[in-house]
Structures are given as C-alpha cells and as structure tokens.
Structure 1
Amino acid sequence: MPEAIRVHQTGGPEVLTFEDVPTASPGPGEALIRQHACGVNYIDTYYRSGLYKAPSIPFTLGAEGAGEVIALGEGVTQVKVGDRVAYSGAIGSYAAERTYPAERLIPLPEAISYEQAAGMMLKGMTAQYLVRRTFTVESGQTVLVHAAAGGVGLILCQWIKSLGATVIGTVGSEEKAELARANGADHTILYRKEDWVKRVAEITDGKKCEVVYDGVGKDTFPGSLDCIKPRGMWVSFGNASGPVEPFSILTLAQKGSLFATRPTLASYVAERKDLLATAYDLFDVVASGKVAIPVNQRYALKDARKAHEDLEGRGTTGSSILLP
C-alpha cells in the first residue's frame, strides 16, 4: 500500500505521521500520479500548525510534486498515461501516489528533472509572478530580497540579476551570505548583526529600493517600508516569522505614497493558460541557465518531520524535497 505523511491534529513537526494510505482511483477529470519527488515549502508549516486551515482532518500535507501519470479518470484530455508532470496547488503531495486534477498538471520538458521540478514549482512560479507581474523588475533598479538564501530567495536573486537589476539580500549567517552572493546578490546584509534598514540606505546612497520582496513577515515589518523609494512597492508574500500585524493604511502615505500587496500564487495561476504561461517561463529561464534550482536538502518521505524541523530552524538553504 502506498505511504504518505498524515496530520491528525495541528501542531509542531511531531504531529507528522508516516502511514500506509490507500490511493483513491482517479475520478472524472483526474489523473493518478506515481510521485518521484515532493517539494517542501514554508506554506506546509502553516497548514501543519493550523495557521492556514486544511480542508479536513486528518489530511496529507504538501503542495507540490513531480512524477509520472499512471492512470486517468474519465474525460481527461490534458495528459496521458506515461507523461512526466509536475504541479503546485492542492495539498496532499507528501505521498508516494496521489490523484490530481488533470487541468492543473503541467507537462515537464525533458530538460527539467523530477527533483528540479519538485524543488521549484511553487517557489519558481512564485518568483516568476513576483518579478514579472506583481512588480515588473527592470534593468537599473535596486531590489531588496529578504531571506535571500531561502528557497524563493535564491531563485529571486538569480532572476532579478539576469534582468539587470541590483540585488540586496538579507540573510542570517555568513554562510548564507556567501550562497546568496553566489546566486546573484550584489550585496548581503546579516540581519541578526547589522541594522539592515541603515545598511540598505548606505548601499543605495540614501536612494533606497524600487521594491522589497518580503517572505519573512512579522520580523521585517515595518522596517521594509523604510527601505523603499517614494511610490515604490512592498510585496509581502510570506510569513516565515509570523504574520504581519494589522497596520494603518496611512503609514503608506507617511512613508512616501507606497504601494503594498499581499499576493498569492493561486490568484496568479487561477486560469490554465496563466498556469502554463507561468510554468513555461520558469522552465525557459532554468533551461537557459539563467536560473539554477539548488536542491540542497533531500529527505526520505518518512523523514518529513526532520525536514520541517530544519526548515523552521532556518537550517536549510535553497529547496528541500522528499523522496518517496
């Protein structure tokens, strides 16, 4: 019987259990996937802890994966048995097999491996919409990326650098600073040791940044607003340190007529055409060599608890994957 990681009650990493779980037959419009790799993302910890509400209890964790189609439900035309596919979206990926809506599956080109795909679908497509649609990064601009050595951070640094912008990254250690610089960051700031708002001002000669990409949340607010040029944008796309507390919208006026947004990948890929366009843009930059996908941690599926402990302990860099 296929195995999966299940959550019977929300809480810390200790609530993750490794169990035999029967796989449902694909229903109409669904495909059954034998998974080769499953992505581990910070959003998984939100569902596990209860910050984000799962559809039901118990549930299988995880929002992205890659594998081979092994069976089809009625009416499926988007994929066929034997196709290599990847996805990011509905939870349930921490499993050896799973069903998935066929219209949300993305065919994988031969140039992209299962491990790369599992390590980048959520993070890479997030980076794509952040730099190409939420705020269109252009040559000559200056961009601040928080958690620059994290999964999304390393992809953002490379992608932004390839567009000709200057990248400033905040990181938690000198080792992470070296990694961020190796992946495109022009400047790194050790946020635990340095006044990072002051350092951004120094690096930019007081001109600040056009945009701040903030996946950290509570710990980097409101400082992020003080790093943005008048009429610039604060993009809050994650809560690694906890959610940002409610604040007065007048603060944005006081800081220089700033724009603020809290985007989600789901909103940007709601239509299949947008899903495919986002994924194919990502595949193109990876295949071209402009963006590499650093899968720096690999765990057996049964070791998902360890993966979460490492992730929340900020002991990971780049992407982490589970191998069924």
Structure 2
Amino acid sequence: MIKVQGLSKLYGDVKAVDNITFECRPGAVTGFLGPNGAGKTTTMRVIAGLTPATSGEATVAGVHYHDVPNPGTQVGVLLDASAQHAGRTGREVLTLGAIAMGLPLSRVDEMLALVSLSKAESKRRIRNYSLGMRQRLGIAHALLGDPKILILDEPVNGLDPAGIHWMRGLLREYANRGGTVLLSSHLLHEIEVIADDIIVIGHGRIISQGTKAEMLQTAGTFVKAGDASALTNALTAAGITAVPSGDGGLRTEAKPEEVGRITAEARIALIELRPADGAGLEEMFLELTAETQRDENTPEGVKV
C-alpha cells in the first residue's frame, strides 16, 4: 500500500504540492491525473524518497522509502525513462541492478524476455535506444526485484499501440496478483481502460478521488439540437448550466422532462434527449481541471 498523508512540498514561496492525502490499495491500479504542473511528479518523487517533503509524509508498505530494506525488492520506480546511463547497454543496466539487489543474474534474462528486448537490443548502448525501448528497459528495471509496489510516471510515453497494449496487460496482471500500482499518464483513454481507482490533482491539491466507477458516474440529461447555440441560450436563460458532451451535445444536471419543456417552449428541434450515461474520463477530467489547466506559478526549471 502507498499512503500519502497531509503532504506538502514548497519550492521557495510556491506550493508544488499542497496538503494532499490519498491511498493506493493492493490489487489495484491507481491512475494519477492532472494538468502539466499539477504536482504529480513531485508527489511521486516524494513517495520514492527522491525529494524531501516540506510537511506531511508518504509511506510505502507502512514505512518511509528510505527505511525500506533493499528497496528495489519492495518498490519498483520508473519516473524518467531517459535518466539512464547512455553509455551502458541495456543488459549492463539490469546486471548492475541485479548485483546491487543481491539477485541471481538469471533474473536479467527473465526481465529482458518479459519486456521483449531481444539479445541484440540488450547489447546496444542506451544512447541508441528509442524512447519506447528505454521505457521497456525502465519497466524491466522496476520489476527486476519482484517488488510489491510500482510507481510509474508516464510509462507508456513513446510506446507504439502494440507496446501500449502490452503495458496494459502487464500492469493488469501485476495488480491481479496483489501488487499496488500508482500510474500517471497523459493518455486518458489508457487510464480509463486500466485504472481501478483515480486521483485528480490540480494546482497541487487533490480535486477528486475515488473508484473509476464512482468518478465516471453521472446523472442528469444529455441533449443535442440542430441549433446548438439556440439550445445553449435557452438553457442558460432558464438558469440551467450545461457543459459540452459527446459529439456536439450538452450534458446538464436537470431532468429530461425539464429540458424537454424548456426546448419545446423555445421551439428548438431536438436531435436527441435522454438520461445521461456515465461521463467519459476525458470529459470528467476537463470538467474537474477547467480552472487548473495552466500553472503559471511553477518555478522555472522545476518539474512538478
């Protein structure tokens, strides 16, 4: 389990992370979402013991990361696939990791096979790897010690569709075996497909969190008209707030019969009127983060 309690991180006078609290449970993939500069990477760095917290704490399996004995065998971390020694080969990186963790060297070949890096590719210098190959190597290193917890920042970045599908299956199987996964990604569809729980952060604060089913559940009405502008104006005039949804439609919290009455009185021809389905992740994300899409207060040069 990963547990974050009252965590804050300041860079000078700027709060990159502001008093956040959440948990990632065993047997589940937790999607960690937020706009650029929202605080995702800073939070993950604090959990992984790379950045000290200003206040609050983050623990893995009940202890701080730096107190975990032989941490690579307990917590697998991938925060930047490019942060690997460019002059070493993929095999050398995994071999050094296995030696440091006291693992049998047979584990190196097992991980190379797991992430589909061939014998020839494993002997190439990392400077000659594509981003997708570096991601596969980073995942291999994170899984090298057979940890119970994975912390992954944008792990599918640079992967082709087949690689994304492979990653999805790998993480699903890992969670099904009881592992804890904290996963950030800007590919919202991938989070929607694989995540069990979702945490949304903006301006360093938790905006919303819960199971995927809870987060995507919605009520209200979906309505679509040939004249979208007239529809919006009629609803607004009636004091009903509506947000874009789907292909040219609107979603509102009002009941279908109320929306139907208003549009009938305004003589607006409707294409569709029905109870709203569960909102998609992209729609939910954009609504929740509408006011946090830009973080202009982030200090220059600081990745949060």
Same-fold call, TM cutoff 0.5? no
* The structure with more radius of gyration: 2
Q: Quick one: higher RCO (CA 8 Å, sep 6+), 1 or 2?
A: 2
